[in-house]
Structures are given as structure tokens and as C-alpha cells.
Amino acid sequence: MSFLAFLFILISLVTFVAAQLILKKGMEFSATKGMRNSYFVSRVAIGVVLMTVSFFLTLGLLQRFDLSYLYPFQGLSVIFITILAAVVLKEKLSLRLTIGALLITAGIMLVSMS
């Protein structure tokens, strides 16, 4: 894998994870304060832009690599989102949830490696 491919996979992963965290913040806010406010609109807008960037980078990567080759990197998003949701969004992170997320990540990697 070239440096460029690695860089694009990394940016795709980082933008996807960041989008999920920002969208969650926006939707949580909307549950109490409604959707007609600049905070909600800006969070959803930033989330959509980040997901769009991730989408087109993935589309470019799919033209060069098999879906099964790219899947392990998508699998990493499970553990990153689980940990960052606890750190950034202050969600509860139990040992059971951490082990579950690790098993899902390992399982996705095995599925794509085989």
C-alpha cells in the first residue's frame, strides 16, 4: 500500500469518526432544545460535510482496493467511536462494552482477512 493510500484511508477514518461524534452532539442538543437553532444546524452541517469527505475518499479507495481489504480499517472505527464517545461525550463505558467493541473489531478484521 502506498503512502497516499494510507493517508487517504486515515483521513477517511478520522473524518468518519469525527462526524459521528459531532452529529451525536447535535442530535442530543435537538432532543431538549429543538432543531431551530444555530447550534443544531451547524453541528449537523459539519457532520454532513465530514461524512461527505469520508464517502468520496472511500469511493476513490474502492476503485483501487477490494472491499474486503478496506474493511479492517472500517472495523477500527468501532473501538475508536466507543472510546471517544466516553471521553468526548461522557457516555458510560463499562468493561463489558469495551470487550464487546474489541471483539466486534477483531471479528471484522478476521472476516476481511480470510
Partner 1 sequence: MQNRPSGFGNPWLQLGMSVVCVFASELLLKRGASEIAAPHDAFSWTGINGLASPLVWWAIVLIVASFISWLYVLRYIPLNFAYPLSRVVDILVPLGCWIFLGELISTLRWCGIALVVFGLGLVAKPIAKMEQRL
Contact set with partner 1 (CB under 8 A): 4, 8, 20-21, 23-24, 27-28, 30-31, 44, 51, 55-64, 67, 71, 74-75, 77-78, 81-82, 85-86, 89, 91-94, 96-97, 99-114
Task: Please state the closest distance from residue 76 (CB atom) to partner 1, in A.
Answer: 11
Closest CA to 75 of 51, 97, 105, 49: 105
In the complex, the smallest distance separating the C-beta of residue 46 from partner 1, rounded to whole angstroms, is 13
44, three cell numbers: 449537523
8 Å CB contact between 56 and 7: no
Q: Indicate the DSSP class of residue 35.
A: S
